[in-house]
């Protein structure tokens, strides 16, 4: 019984403190700060203070919360809140795989991929019922944009699964990469990483390559009528995804993040490099409209990920 | 200076999102407000950000002479702002003076219609003046706590 209680306490500690809710919240605020600071430095600005993202979220939580439309009873808050819960679960599973690779369950590899999609899709589902066309139209466009980007992401995620000989557990994938090197070192792994990295921008609700038209048409649409607590939920979900997606990409393609002893430094460097790369690429200058972004996701990006899967079948 | 001082307002002062609203006039003050948000002045370092939607704003920066046509719109904008919210009158015209004073289309100064928390005079006020005014407003709110 004592052993059972100890295990329960250990799991509760993992769920609530580390790498659970408290860690995810603190990390998401740090990721938001890193994103805004990187953008500021690229624009030759000083940028926000370290605690500014936290102040923003806290302020939104205490502000008056008015639903966008009185005809909608709970949907403006319910769906974003479900998205937030999905994002928190997703983040907890990813970071638990980082710090405790052997504690996963059978099928957690697929659970991670599906939860990453559920968080973003649930978040915008509420606005599809919005009678205001600006919001529901934005939601529709986001769905189109998201699903076209998710296709290459799903296909590319199959490459580490195939290379590791059908690894259903994250622990098996970590063990494979420890023995045979990172997935990205192979030709198929490199192509898959490139496709998954580019598609991940949409999962985080960033506009890749600074697509201003897409940013306005699709990504700003869903939270267009939110304010107060509902906007805080939207922002927090996005920040959690921003904090977690780089870790997932590293787990899948870049050999994982061992944190024992001196191995922690290269792991932290890898994480910082991927996180900063998201912000830097987001602020680059080429511009694409929504229709061109959709064609880009369905065309070259999907082709790239299919090539990666074919190469992995051939053993490259 | 500040109406309805509360703990929530002090929390808002650490993350002030502003929404510039143009009540009429020559648009000069409006451009100076937008200049504050450019990389040269970088208002974000003080926690101040631009809110494209009035529902997300914590402060409205009203500039220009209030015309009869915009009177109802400004009242509506103020109503839609989620509480607690602040009103800042920017420029000499918004204060009831300026080159359009006494014009046929000009109705009243901003403080005759809405409860103004901060006045920033100037024709137009420089971005430094706008930033200084907002800084004083934030400082004043925080000092109330101590």
A132 touches chain B (CB under 8 A): no
Confidence of residue B127 (pLDDT cuts 50, 70, 90): very high
The answer to whether the beta carbons of residues A97 and A174 sit under 8 Å apart is yes
Closest CA to B88 of B53, B107, B124, B60: B60
Q: A10: helix, coil or strand?
A: helix
Least CB-CB distance to B56: which of A45, A49, A231?
A: A231
- Give the model's pLDDT for residue A223: 66
A56 touches chain B (CB under 8 A): yes
Least CB-CB distance to A47: which of B8, B44, B82?
A: B44
**Which residues, including other chains, have CB under 8 Å from residue A312's CB and lie 6 or more apart?**
A158, A159, A162, A163, A186, A188, A189, A192
Dig out the tokens for A153 from the structure: 């992401």
A66/B53 Cβ within 8 A: no
Q: Nearest-CA distance from A59 to chain B in Å? A: 6
Can you tell me the distance from the alpha carbon of A32 to that of A274, in angstroms, rounded to the nearest whole number?
14
Q: Buried (b) or exposed (e) across A6-17, using 16+ Cβ within 10 A?
A: eeeeeeeebeee
Q: Nearest-CA distance from A131 to chain B in Å? A: 18
Average pLDDT, chain B: 87
- Residues of A within 8 A of B58 (CB-CB) are 59, 63
Dig out the tokens for A149 from the structure: 């980007």
- Give the model's pLDDT for residue B4: 46
- Give the model's pLDDT for residue A141: 76
- Give the model's pLDDT for residue A102: 80
B39 touches chain A (CB under 8 A): yes
- Residues of A within 8 A of B8 (CB-CB) are 62-63
B11/A62 Cβ within 8 A: yes
B15/A46 Cβ within 8 A: no
**Tell me, what's the ipTM?**
0.89
Task: Indicate the pTM of the whole model.
Answer: 0.88
Q: Which of the pair, B94 or A119, is modelled with greater confidence?
A: B94
Helix (H) or strand (E) holding B131: helix B127-145
Q: Nearest-CA distance from B57 to chain A in Å? A: 9
B6 touches chain A (CB under 8 A): no
pLDDT, tens digit only, all 316 positions of chain A: 456 778 888 888 888 888 889 999 999 999 999 999 998 998 888 999 999 999 999 999 888 877 666 566 666 678 888 889 999 999 999 998 888 888 878 888 888 888 888 887 887 777 777 777 766 777 777 777 788 888 888 899 889 888 888 777 888 888 888 888 889 989 999 999 999 998 888 777 665 444 444 455 555 556 666 778 888 888 898 899 999 999 999 998 998 888 877 778 888 999 999 999 988 887 775 556 667 778 888 888 899 999 999 999 888 8
Q: B52: helix, coil or strand?
A: coil
């Amino acid at each position: 019984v004592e052993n059972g209680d100890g295990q329960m306490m250990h799991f509760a500690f993992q769920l609530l403190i580390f790498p659970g809710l408290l860690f995810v919240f603190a990390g998401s605020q740090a990721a938001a700060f890193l994103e805004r600071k990187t953008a500021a430095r690229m624009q030759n600005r000083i940028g926000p203070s370290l605690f500014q993202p936290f102040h923003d979220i806290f302020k939104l939580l205490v502000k008056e919360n008015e639903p966008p439309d009185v005809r909608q009873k709970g949907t403006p808050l319910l769906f974003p809140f479900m998205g937030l819960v999905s994002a928190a679960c997703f983040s907890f599973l990813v970071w638990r795989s980082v710090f405790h690779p052997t504690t996963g369950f059978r099928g957690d590899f697929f659970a991670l991929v599906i939860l990453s999609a559920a968080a973003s899709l649930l978040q915008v589902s509420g606005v599809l019922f919005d009678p205001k066309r600006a919001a529901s139209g934005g939601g529709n466009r986001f769905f189109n944009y998201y699903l076209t980007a998710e296709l290459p992401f799903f296909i590319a995620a199959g490459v580490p699964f195939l290379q590791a000989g059908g690894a259903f557990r994250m622990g098996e994938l970590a063990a494979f990469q420890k023995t045979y090197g990172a997935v990205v070192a192979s030709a198929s792994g490199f192509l898959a990483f490139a496709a998954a990295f580019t598609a991940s921008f949409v999962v985080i609700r960033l506009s890749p390559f600074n697509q201003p038209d897409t940013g306005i048409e699709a990504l700003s649409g869903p939270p267009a009528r939110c304010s107060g607590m509902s906007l805080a939920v939207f922002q927090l979900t996005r920040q959690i995804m921003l904090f977690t997606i780089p870790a997932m990409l590293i787990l899948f393609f870049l050999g994982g993040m061992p944190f024992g002893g001196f191995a922690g430094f290269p792991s932290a460097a890898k994480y910082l490099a991927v996180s900063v790369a998201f912000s830097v690429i987001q602020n680059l200058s080429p511009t694409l409209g929504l229709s061109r972004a959709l064609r880009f996701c369905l065309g070259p990006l999907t082709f790239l990920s299919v090539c990666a899967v074919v190469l992995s079948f051939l053993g490259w | 200076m500040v109406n309805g001082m509360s703990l929530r307002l002090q929390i808002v002062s650490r993350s002030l999102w502003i929404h510039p609203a143009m009540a009429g006039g020559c648009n000069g003050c409006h451009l100076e407000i937008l200049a504050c948000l450019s990389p040269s002045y970088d208002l974000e370092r003080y926690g101040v950000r631009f809110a494209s939607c009035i529902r997300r704003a914590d402060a409205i920066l009203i500039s220009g002479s209030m015309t009869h046509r915009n009177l109802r719109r400004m009242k509506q904008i103020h109503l839609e702002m989620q509480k607690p919210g602040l009103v800042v009158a920017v420029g000499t015209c918004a204060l009831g003076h300026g080159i359009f004073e006494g014009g046929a289309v000009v109705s009243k100064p901003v403080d005759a219609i809405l409860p103004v928390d901060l006045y920033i005079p100037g024709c137009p006020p420089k971005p430094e003046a706008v930033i200084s005014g907002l800084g004083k407003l934030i400082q004043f709110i925080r000092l109330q706590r101590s």
